[in-house]
Amino acid sequence: MKKYSEMTREELLAEKELLEKRYAEKKSLGLKLDISRGKPCPEQLALSLPMLDIINSETESFKCENGFDIRNYGVVEGIPECRRLFGEILDAPAENVIVTGNSSLNLFYDLIAHAVCHGLPGGNSPWSECKERKLLCPAPGYDRHFAVGELFGFELITVPMNPDGPDMDTVEELIKDETVKGIICVPKYSNPQGITYSDEVVKRFANLSPAAPDFRIFWDNAYTVHHLDFSGEKDEIPSLLRLAEENGKGDMVYMLGSTSKITFPSAGLAAVASSEKNIADFRHTLSFQNIGPDKINQMRHVLFFKNLEGVLSHMKKQSDIVRPKFETVLKVLKSELSESGNAKWNTPKGGYFISAELMEGTAKRTVTLCKEAGLTITGAGAVYPYGKDPADSILRIAPTFAPVSELPDAMEIFCISAKLSAVEKLLK
């Protein structure tokens, strides 16, 4: 089969007719499929159900290792056992960790709000007093990160992504502007491209010299243990906080993580690791906000996992559930789109997403066609600041939540829609 770009007008018209026939057949099935958000499926959630039985009304002791009663107020920073567990997960000293909430997005929001309202160590004033404040956004990236920055009035500056992470030449140039207050990153198995930052990129982050004294790197390592294949090669990255501390720049870093996609999204835990000064500052702010974090849930997680080895053992079980879904998506993409030459996609080693790059100017039309045929996908442009994909080409696929039996139909609709959109554009 010829690539679409090499076809004559007559050949394109014939291909369009075939695609329209296939599309009509799929549409007639009345399917309702959804690959729009990265949610754990019921089988993944079931793996954590035994955790709910660990602490109950018959539990003999409700004391953590420092003797504190986990049922009561206090311990704003989290119980020692849980801080140690997250220290292992994030590769940071336990004393530099605060455990709270149930998602790293929640923590990112709180940290931004704190900086905007009260300012950060090293800064002269709250960020709200900086009328032109900017946030660097590696893109394609996570739409909800961008939404938080936009909500707080930041100008969102797109930083292009390379195969090994953000374009660091661009980052190093942009931070010469003192109104650039931070950058938000997903450094491992990034959303949506599945990119893991190289050691060199992480080292360059740890050695940044921004003009703003209160510049911060928000390092949302949400997928740090979300490997797809535990028997093969797994991506690893060095600890940004440890590297930054070695350079005397630990205050520049907030490393975030959570168990939202490890245990229960509605009842997980989140943690931030940072310098001693930043942790003391954020703990002070939290003491006004919450004097009684859910320490029972913290202890429940500790008793269930015990340590990082326990977390990885649990995540191996999850990978056995989700890996066939990724394999199914990739198989259909290859069989449907390889020869047409109108798309390319990543083959991630972990995380929750597959990113498809379609022919320029066809992503919005593809989303519309998918919707009309009964398939919901993330909107075109969502992976860029302000929801504006400059090339109208990137779409995110989230395979985890849908049953594996539904994915062949979902991906056929996706691929037929992508090809039909490409043929229509070429015919114009």
Number of domains in the chain: 2
Burial class (CB in 10 A: 0-12, 13-18, 19+), 365: buried
Q: pTM here? A: 0.96
Does the residue 139 lie in any domain?
Answer: yes
- pLDDT at position 292, please? 87
CB 119 within 8 A of CB 127: yes
Q: Are residues 194 and 278 in the same domain?
A: yes
- The b/e string for 114-137 (b: 16+ C-beta within 10 A; e otherwise) is bbbeebbebbeeebeebeebbbbb
Crossing angle for the helix pair 407-427 and 363-372, to the nearest 10 degrees: 130
Per-residue pLDDT of 233-283, as tens digits, reads 899 999 999 999 999 999 999 999 999 999 999 999 999 999 999 999 999
C-alpha 231, offset from chain centre = 23
- pLDDT at position 85, please? 98
What residues of the chain score a pLDDT lower than 50?
none
Residue in this structure with the two tokens 């191996």, named with its chain if needed: 316
**The last residue of a domain, from among 279, 306, 333:** 306
Per-residue pLDDT of 35-76, as tens digits, reads 999 999 999 999 999 999 999 999 999 999 999 999 999 999
- pLDDT at position 232, please? 82
- pLDDT at position 120, please? 96
Crossing angle for the helix pair 143-151 and 104-118, to the nearest 10 degrees: 20
d(CA 60, CA 66): 16
Q: Are residues 180 and 73 in the same domain?
A: yes
CA distances 337 to 87, 105, 322, 330, Å, are 43, 34, 23, 10
Q: Are residues 20 and 130 in the same domain?
A: no
Burial class (CB in 10 A: 0-12, 13-18, 19+), 35: buried
> Could you write out the DSSP letters of every residue in 367-402?
HHHHHHTTEE-PPTTTTSGGG--TTS-EEEE--SSS
Q: Are residues 319 and 297 in the same domain?
A: no
d(CA 233, CA 219): 23
Q: Output the domain CATH number for residue 324.
A: 3.90.1150.10
| Tokens describing residue 8 | 């004559």
Q: Are residues 142 and 228 in the same domain?
A: yes
Q: Are residues 211 and 69 in the same domain?
A: yes
Q: Are residues 298 and 418 in the same domain?
A: no
DSSP β-ladder status, 97-100 and 270-274: antiparallel
Query: Three-state DSSP class for 294?
Result: coil
Q: Which residues contact 278 (CB under 8 A, 6 or more apart)?
A: 120, 121, 250, 251, 254
d(CA 282, CA 336): 50
- pLDDT at position 276, please? 98
Q: Are residues 338 and 285 in the same domain?
A: no
Show the domain range for 148. 62-306
Crossing angle for the helix pair 295-305 and 80-90, to the nearest 10 degrees: 60
Burial class (CB in 10 A: 0-12, 13-18, 19+), 88: middle
At position 38, the amino acid (one-letter code) is G
Nearest alpha-carbon partner for 81 in 277, 263, 307, 293: 307
